[in-house]
């Protein structure tokens, strides 16, 4: 199977095709996303869903404003892959879950983790409803446990009820006590 076939990408109407590192990507505007996906499914016979993913669109100084959405589908008979790409900002992403049922999970993950607006809003999948922010965006600040409590289980020794399980290490360059006796009172010349 090829990851992204130039043969299939050339058959996508109204798409700009670009090839890099042996993969051809068909770029389509978000307004044509669903029509292009339907064309891939019905006309090009790409009936096997592989994955749908999101990444920051990569504009310097505009982190988190626009996101690239990728859809990889496969033509089972020839085992050729088609990679579609669009960019979204505040506009909603039309759902392709009606064509490939497996895309519903990926779209929900994109909405929850990246803040992508979906045309048909869905319930949360991974994070609680009260979670603030979108953890996979580049502009998401990773808060420490002091600022935002860690929702998972604490490490041994952190909850104050048990002894720590790990030996505390000395800073780099400080030999451990097995190197011999230490002078009391500092360094004498």
Please write the tens of the pLDDT for every residue from 162-187: 555 556 666 555 566 666 665 565 55
- Per-run averaged pLDDT (10 residues), the chain, 189 residues: 74 91 92 96 96 85 82 94 93 96 94 92 86 83 56 63 59 62 55
Show the domains of the chain with their CATH numbers. Answer: 6-162 (3.30.460.80)
Query: CA end-to-end span of the chain, whole Å?
Result: 72
Q: What is the dihedral of CA 113, 118, 121, 122, to 10 degrees?
A: -50
pTM above 0.95, yes or no: no
Query: Given this model, what pLDDT does residue 179 score?
Result: 64
Query: Given this model, what pLDDT does residue 137 score?
Result: 83
Q: Which residues pair with 24 in a beta bridge?
A: 19
Written as six digits, the tokens of 158 are 């952190």
Q: Which residues pair with 85 in a beta bridge?
A: 27, 70
- Give the C-alpha separation, 91 to 122, whole Å: 16
**Shortest CA distance to 53 belongs to which of 16, 93, 13, 106?**
106
Contact yes or no for 13/83 (Cβ under 8 A): no
Give Cα separations from 102 to 23, 24, 25, 73, 89 (angstroms): 23, 23, 21, 11, 24
Query: Given this model, what pLDDT does residue 146 score?
Result: 45
């Amino acid at each position: 199977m090829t990851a992204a076939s130039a043969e299939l990408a050339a058959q996508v109407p109204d798409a700009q095709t670009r090839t890099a590192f042996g993969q051809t990507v068909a770029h389509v505007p978000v307004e044509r996303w669903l029509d292009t996906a339907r064309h891939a499914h019905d006309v090009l016979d790409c009936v096997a869903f592989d994955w749908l993913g999101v990444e920051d669109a990569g504009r310097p100084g505009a982190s988190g404003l626009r996101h690239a959405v990728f859809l990889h589908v496969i033509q089972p008979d020839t085992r050729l892959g088609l990679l579609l790409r669009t960019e979204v900002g505040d506009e909603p992403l039309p759902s392709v879950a009606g064509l490939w049922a497996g895309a519903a999970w990926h779209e929900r993950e994109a909405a929850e983790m990246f803040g992508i607006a979906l045309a048909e809003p869905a319930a949360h999948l991974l994070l609680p409803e009260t979670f603030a922010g979108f953890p996979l965006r580049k502009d998401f600040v990773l808060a420490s446990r002091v600022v935002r409590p860690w929702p998972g289980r604490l490490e041994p020794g952190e909850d104050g009820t048990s002894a720590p399980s790990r030996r505390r290490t000395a800073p780099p360059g400080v030999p451990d006590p097995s190197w011999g006796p230490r002078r009391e009172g500092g360094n004498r010349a």
